[in-house]
Amino acid sequence: MNRRKLSLSEIAACTAEALPKGILLSSAADGKVNSMVIGWGTVGVNWNLPVFAAYVRVSRFTRELLDENPEFTVNVPLGNPDKNTVAVCGSKSGRDLDKLAACGLHTVPGETVSVPAILEFPVTVECRILYRQQEDISLLPEEIRSRFYPHSRDNAPSDNSKDPHVTYYGQILSAYVLEPEEGEA
């Protein structure tokens, strides 16, 4: 398997185009690998380092894995993602289901991190967490709060899909496209 390296501007362009369709954020700890769909993320420079900022709700299994192992990969398809993969990885919990097996996804060992790349989502960004911060919903403008966190108000019913996000700033350690070598399927 070849790994064609990508520049920061190539990563930014690729992820910006793919995020609205769904890309994967993968994490791993205690022998478990989990991938979840993300629709929010940013690529840039913080602290003079290339970073990917990922946003994960507090209630997610991925957050638990990221808190155990401060590494992740961002996995981006070339073209449109498989609809079944987006449906499963975007709606099922890795606590209850091996989503990679359910979707028939294949892993490739990471180049610099312990979290694998996903062959079917070949654009891979390998990251190590530099900083994490749980958002303070009360500081958001009302139009954002009411749209994305309607149950965050006092005495509102609990709804895990509306809990706050933790922002993970991951230093980009490596970024590449997985490309089969000649003769590989």
For each of the domains in the chain, give its residue range(s) and CATH number, in order of start. Answer: 2-179 (2.30.110.10)
DSSP character at residue 177: E
Mean pLDDT of the region 21-30: 96
pLDDT classification of 152: cutoffs 50, 70, 90 = low
Cα-trace Rg, the chain: 16
pLDDT single digits (tens) 154-175: 444 445 557 899 999 999 999 9
Average per-residue pLDDT for the chain: 92
What's the confidence (pLDDT) of residue 180?
A: 86
pTM (2 d.p.) = 0.90
Mean pLDDT of the region 44-49: 97
CB 162 within 8 A of CB 135: no
**Of 62, 82, 75, 85, whose CA–CA distance to 19 is shortest?**
75
Q: Which residues contact 174 (CB under 8 A, 6 or more apart)?
A: 3, 5, 110, 111, 112, 113, 124, 125, 126
Q: Which two tokens stand for residue 163?
A: 């809990």
Q: Is the pLDDT of residue 185 over 80?
A: no
Q: Is the pLDDT of residue 18 over 90?
A: yes
